[in-house]
């Protein structure tokens, strides 16, 4: 039941903050903040309470720390089935934490229709938590699509229409169509999988554990796997499918960007590890080289395009593509170390991207522009913001001692054993990362100031938010062990599922 509350808290909180708008504009903010803190507290309690070393996605022997199941649509064998293991726990912690940040960072930025804004913000969170918990494929798809609508509103109604770019409504529509139509392919794949399972076993079921046992013909497995892969590829985003990301990020309000980069992109990586790979291990093994090269393309392309941007938020958006390239390589290397790196990288990127987006939001609030040609010389005009910006830029380029370094290092280390050329090309991402991070620092912080008047510096709220994010990045960089311990069992399960498939296809006995 506690899992249901994890989903319900944001939904109820959202409704309350929508309705309390009539009391005043402060009430929705406080209610949203309290419900996000409540969600985070509940997640933290679950994390500290349980031992996550025993869980795994392995075939048949999956153990969930917490599980909840009631019938939902028995006519189609669909149930409301939630389950929590180490991976979903970490993702929920990240989502809840960034949810708190998203509420705080829009405290002064959003001034119109405050209640409705927080309704959307919280509903995104609720749907995302649902995605991370769902163990029924129909339910998963349900939540997967549910997060689109509030995100659409967030961008379309509270976004900025940047000059030269698409308008905010067009950007939101683009986002919606990309993700919805790719999601439809996933629905087709889900239904196809269920039908194959039904014709073999005579049981209609959308349940994860049941479908894991489905025996698929190789051609069918490929087709169904592609349905999942394309849906995740769009959300990831993997490079040929990334068209929506820069536009959506540029037009989205800060809180929207934080949610998008910090959480929504992670649902795709989570979906790959939870569903695409364990359900279709053979096809995934065959896809792996292609996927990893796509990851390399993403790393390099994202970095190069980021370097060329003049809009600071667009720059950060492209760095997300680059960072998520590492995650993709790590996932499809099927190496235990790399998979562990993926988890750290996802969390670290979530936090550092959130930090950068919040920073660009703060700059926008002060300067009303995101053009870097209008910035420069901030060291002379502000006291606190420049070092903070410097810190997040350093985190983004993968400075040792901060979380991103741990993630990227583990991924590269694990991939090294799998494929040398891929590792070599991926490593160039670190160099290019330094290039785009430093050009951003140079254009905004250094150089001659545009004019000498000082800019209002960070207030306590903003500074506190930044310090928290920084502290977590340092903690991840210095002592990532608790994270690794939590996810180890799940990642081992993923790896095991794939290893069995690889051995079977090579005709080798299964190694234990």
Partner 1 sequence: MTFTVQQFQALLPLVITCATSVLVMLSIAWRRHHAFNTLVCMLGLNAALVSVYFAAQVGPQAVTPLFIVDGYSLFFTGLILAAGLASVTLINTYIDSFKYNREEMYLLMTIATAGGIVMASAHHFASLFIGLELLSVSLFGLVGYSFHRPRALEAAIKYLVLSATASAVLLFGIALIYSQFGSLAFSEIGPQLHEDARPIVLIGLAMLLIGLAFKLSLAPFHLWTPDVYEGAPAPVGAFLATAAKVAVFAVTVRFLLLEAIGALQIPAIFHTLAAIAIASILVGNLLALRQNNIKRILGYSSIAHFGYLLVLLLTGGPVFGVEGFAAYLTIYVVTSLSSFGVVTLMSKCGQDRDADQLHDLRGLFWRRPYLATLMTVSLLSLGGIPLTAGFIGKFYVIVAAMTFQSSWGWAMLAAIVAGSAVGIYFYLRVMVNLYLAKPGMHKFEAQLGWGQHTSGLMVLCASALVVYIGVYPETLMQLVQIAKAAGVQ
Task: Decide: is 192 part of the binding site for partner 1 (CB under 8 A).
Answer: yes
Q: Residues 25, 173, 369, 500: which binds partner 1 (CB under 8 A)?
A: 173
In this structure, are strands 78-84 and 66-73 parallel, antiparallel, or unpaired? antiparallel
Closer residue to partner 1, CB minimum distance, 80 or 332? 80
Span near partner 1 by CB under 8 A; candidates 143-151, 235-243, 423-431, 454-462: 143-151
φ, ψ (nearest 5 deg) of residue 420: -70, -50
Contact between 145 and partner 1 by CB under 8 A: the answer reads yes
Distance from C-alpha of 157 to C-alpha of 169, rounded to nearest angstrom: 8
Tell whether residue 185 is a contact of partner 1 (CB under 8 A).
Answer: yes
Query: 117 or 270: whose CB is closer to partner 1?
Result: 117
Residues 90-119 contacting partner 1, CB under 8 A:
113
Q: Does 161 bind partner 1 (CB under 8 A)?
A: no
CB atoms within 10 A of CB 199: 8
324 to 363: interface string for partner 1, x by CB under 8 A: ----------------------------------------
CA 498 to chain centre: 23
Q: Tell me, letter by letter, the H, E, C secondary structure of 394-448.
A: HHHCCCCCCHHHHHHHHHHHHHHHHCHHHHHHHHHHHHHHHHHHHHHHHHHCCCC
22 binds partner 1 (CB under 8 A): no
Min CB(189)–partner 1 separation in Å: 10
Instruction: Name 424's Cβ contacts closer than 8 Å, sequence gap at least 6.
Output: none
Indicate whether 169 belongs to the interface with partner 1 (CB under 8 A).
Answer: yes
Site size for partner 1, by CB under 8 A?
30
Which residue stretch of 170-178, 378-386, 445-453, 483-491 sits at the interface with partner 1 (rule: CB under 8 A)? 170-178
How far apart are the C-alpha atoms of 406 and 392, rounded to whole Å? 15
- Stretch of 90-98, 153-161, 391-399, 410-418 lying at the interface with partner 1 (CB under 8 A): 153-161
Contact 182, 267 (CB under 8 A): no
Contacts of 296 (CB under 8 A, 6+ apart): 325, 329, 422, 425, 426
Q: How far is 143 from 150, CA to CA, in rounded Å?
A: 12
Among 133, 156, 337, 502, binds partner 1 (CB under 8 A): 156
- Residues lying near partner 1 in the complex (CB under 8 A) are found at 72-76, 113, 141-142, 145-146, 148-149, 152-153, 156-157, 169, 172-173, 176-177, 180-181, 184-185, 187-188, 191-192, 195
């Amino acid at each position: 039941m506690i899992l249901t509350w994890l989903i319900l808290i944001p939904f109820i909180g959202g409704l309350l903050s929508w309705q309390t708008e009539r009391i005043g504009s402060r009430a929705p903010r406080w209610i949203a903040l309290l419900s996000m803190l409540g969600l985070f507290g509940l997640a933290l309690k679950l994390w500290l309470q349980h031992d996550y070393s025993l869980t795994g996605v392995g075939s048949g022997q999956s153990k969930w720390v917490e599980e909840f199941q009631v019938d939902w649509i028995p006519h189609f064998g669909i149930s409301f089935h939630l389950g929590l293991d180490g991976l979903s726990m970490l993702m929920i912690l990240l989502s809840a934490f960034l949810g708190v940040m998203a509420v705080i960072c829009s405290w002064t930025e959003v001034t119109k229709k405050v209640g409705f804004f927080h309704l959307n913000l919280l509903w995104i969170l609720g749907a995302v938590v649902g995605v991370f918990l769902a163990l029924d494929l129909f339910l998963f798809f349900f939540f997967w699509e549910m997060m689109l609508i509030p995100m659409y509103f967030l961008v379309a109604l509270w976004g900025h229409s940047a000059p030269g770019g698409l308008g905010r409504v067009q950007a939101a529509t683009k986002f919606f169509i990309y993700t919805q139509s790719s999601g439809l392919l996933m629905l087709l794949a889900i239904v196809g999988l269920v039908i194959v399972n039904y014709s073999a076993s005579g049981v209609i079921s959308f349940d994860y554990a049941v479908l894991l046992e489905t025996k698929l013909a190789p051609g069918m497995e490929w087709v169904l796997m592609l349905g999942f892969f394309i849906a995740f590829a769009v959300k990831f985003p993997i490079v040929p499918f990334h068209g929506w990301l820069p536009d959506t990020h540029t037009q989205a309000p800060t809180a929207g960007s934080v949610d998008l980069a910090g959480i929504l992109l992670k649902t795709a990586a989570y979906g790959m590890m939870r569903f695409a790979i364990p359900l279709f291990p053979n096809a995934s093994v065959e896809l792996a080289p292609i996927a990893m090269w796509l990851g390399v393309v993403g790393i390099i392309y994202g970095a190069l395009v980021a370097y060329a941007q003049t809009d600071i938020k667009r720059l950060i958006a492209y760095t997300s593509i680059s960072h998520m390239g590492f995650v993709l390589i790590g996932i499809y290397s099927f190496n235990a170390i790399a998979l562990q790196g993926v988890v750290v990288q996802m969390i670290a990127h979530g936090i550092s991207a959130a930090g950068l987006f919040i920073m660009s939001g703060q700059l926008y609030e002060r300067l009303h522009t995101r053009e870097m040609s209008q910035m420069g010389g901030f060291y002379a005009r502000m006291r606190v913001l420049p070092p903070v910006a410097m810190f997040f830029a350093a985190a983004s380029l993968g400075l040792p001692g901060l979380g991103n370094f741990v993630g990227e290092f583990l991924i590269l280390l694990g991939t090294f054993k799998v494929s040398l050329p891929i590792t070599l090309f991926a490593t160039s991402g670190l160099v290019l990362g330094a290039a785009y991070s430093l050009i951003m620092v140079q254009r905004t912080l250094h150089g001659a100031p545009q004019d000498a008047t000082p800019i209002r510096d960070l207030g306590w709220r903003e500074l506190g938010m930044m310090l928290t994010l920084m502290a977590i990045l340092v903690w991840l960089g210095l002592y990532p062990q608790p994270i690794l311990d939590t996810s180890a069992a799940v990642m081992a399960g993923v790896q095991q599922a794939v290893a069995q498939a690889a051995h079977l296809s090579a005709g080798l006995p299964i190694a234990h």
